Structures are given as C-alpha cells and as structure tokens.
Chains A and B, each alone.
Chain A
C-alpha cells in the first residue's frame, strides 16, 4: 500500500471509535434507558442498584445493596466495554447474578452506555 494512502487509512481508523459504546448517543440513550427503569434509577437503589457513577465503579460495591454473591465477587470495575458485554448477556459475563435482562441491539447498547456515562 502506498505510504500516503496508508496514512489516510490510519487517520480514518483513528477517527472511528474503537468500541460501539464510544459511538453512542446519550440523548437517544436516555430514551433507551426507559427499558432499564423497571428495575433501576439514576439515584435510587430499587430492584437493581442506582446507576449514577456506574462507569468506573467496582462491580457489586453499592453499600447496602443486596447483590448476588456472584456479582459481589466479580472483582472488576465497570468500563464501557464491560457494560456492553453485561447488557449483551449478563449471565454470560457473571454467571449466577440476579439480572437476566439482555439488550440485544448493539446500537441501543451503545446509546444507553453513552447515557450512563453522563450520570457520572
């Protein structure tokens, strides 16, 4: 490949977000978040723990929330990539946790993760 063209391809690749989560739209994600609100809220611990501050939080670490032993012992920090895997299939990422809800659409996952980031 000519050097010039290679540079252009590299520059384009750099401009494309590395993960689906980075490409999400927070405004659309706020609408998608309605799907989460059966169990979650930004600031209330309900059926699931509150979401404010989730990106960067240690999994299973909200004080006073009754997590499954599986999630309490998960031992990872929530990143966009892990949230994407979690929403794809939470039972696959952390077998035995309490959440069965899957969000199958990658674009919706990206959008809702973008929204979750705004809650930090």
Chain B
C-alpha cells in the first residue's frame, strides 16, 4: 500500500489558509479556525519565535508517526482490519502535521521537512516487530509517548490558543493509545490522571 491509496480525512488546511500574507497571532489563527469565543478571550503577549520552535518539534513527532504507520502498513505483518485502523490513525497524524505546519507559517516560521524514510525505518527496526501484536505495541508506545509529549509541552507555549491546539491533539493521541491497547487486550492505566505530570 502506498500513501496515494490511503484514505484521507479533510485537512484543516482549508480552515487555516484564509488569511493574507501577513504574520498572524495565534489568536487570529484561532479566529480563522472558527474558535471565535476562544479568540476573543486571548490577548496575551506571545513569543511566536519560541512557539514556532516548540511546534516544529511537535511536527517532527507527527511526521515520524505518519511514517512509522506507513512502514508498519507495508510490513505485511498487519491484517486488513488492523490496516484500516492504522490508516485512519495515520490520517489524523497527517492532519496534525498539516495543522502544525499552517500554524507555524502563520506565526512566521518554516515548518520542518520530513526526514528520509530510512531514518524513520530505524525506529521500526529497533523495535524488531515479528507479528501484528509487536506492531501494535510499538504504535501504542509511540501514541502514549506523543500524548505525554503534548501534555508536557502545553505549559511552555506562550499563547494559550496554541496550548489548546496541543491539548486537542493530545486527546487524539490518547484515543489512538486506548484503541491500540484494547485491541491488544492489554490493561489500560489503572489510575486516573496517568498522562502528563
């Protein structure tokens, strides 16, 4: 399977590309995205350069996720039913990556480019998956890490509108982790508030 054959969900690009060439604040981006109430509440001074650095790191994480799902999908280790779920999750990571790229551009930054496929393949090779359960376990581990990464990043962003975007992406990652864990018939975290710290 190639990326071209994969189901795509509508990207948020269309929601974020309505502005002109001027650099917009995150509050303005939120407004463009339809979060009028949120935008109205946000007037905090932000440090866009710092936020761009952090969001680019998040974009790097999403690009890795997209590519790891792709390599896993092409591994021949996953069944068609699991493949459908993987493609769906991959499409959400693609959406996250595009949303982050658009936000970075609006803040005056340049989104990071994907690495080579060989670089991403190292992540899968290191996990040495031999069957579908191994692939699912790797995906689950990366999704859990991603959820925690976003939650741990929220406080460092200087614009609350961006923190909200990261919180919403974190929720998607938790959803992926939960679905993968249940598919593996493994236990969910036994305590509340097990994500973040």
Show the binding face of A for B, using Cβ within 8 Å: 32, 34-39, 41, 43-44, 46-48, 68, 89-91, 95-105, 108
User: What is the interface residue range for chain B against chain A?
Assistant: 20 to 34
User: Can you give 10 contacting A-B residue pairs, CB < 8 Å?
Assistant: A34-B141, A37-B142, A44-B126, A95-B50, A97-B53, A100-B153, A100-B156, A101-B152, A101-B153, A104-B197
The chain B residue with its CB closest to the CB of A95 is B50
- Residue among A35, A41, A97, A108 with the most chain B CB within 10 A? A35
Contact A43 B53 (CB under 8 A): no
- Residue among A38, A90, A91 with the most chain B CB within 10 A? A38
Contact A103 B149 (CB under 8 A): no
Q: Does B56 contact A (CB under 8 A)?
A: yes
Bound together, the chains give a CA A16 to CA B53 distance in angstroms of 39
Complex interface: chain B residues within 8 A of A105 (CB): 197
Complex interface: chain B residues within 8 A of A108 (CB): 197
Q: Does B157 contact A (CB under 8 A)?
A: yes
The number of inter-chain residue pairs (CB within 8 angstroms) is 77
Contact A38 B53 (CB under 8 A): no
Contact B60 A47 (CB under 8 A): yes
Q: Does B98 contact A (CB under 8 A)?
A: no
Contact A35 B64 (CB under 8 A): no
Contact A47 B64 (CB under 8 A): yes
How far, in Å, is B149 (CB) from chain A's closest CB? 4
Complex interface: chain B residues within 8 A of A47 (CB): 57, 60-61, 64
Contact A100 B54 (CB under 8 A): yes
Complex interface: chain B residues within 8 A of A48 (CB): 57
Closest 5 CB pairs of A and B: A38-B145, A100-B156, A100-B54, A38-B149, A101-B152
The chain A residue with its CB closest to the CB of B141 is A37
Contact B145 A36 (CB under 8 A): yes
Complex interface: chain A residues within 8 A of B141 (CB): 34, 37
Bound together, the chains give a CA A46 to CA B53 distance in angstroms of 16
Bound together, the chains give a CA A87 to CA B144 distance in angstroms of 19
The chain B residue with its CB closest to the CB of A109 is B197
Q: Does B148 contact A (CB under 8 A)?
A: yes
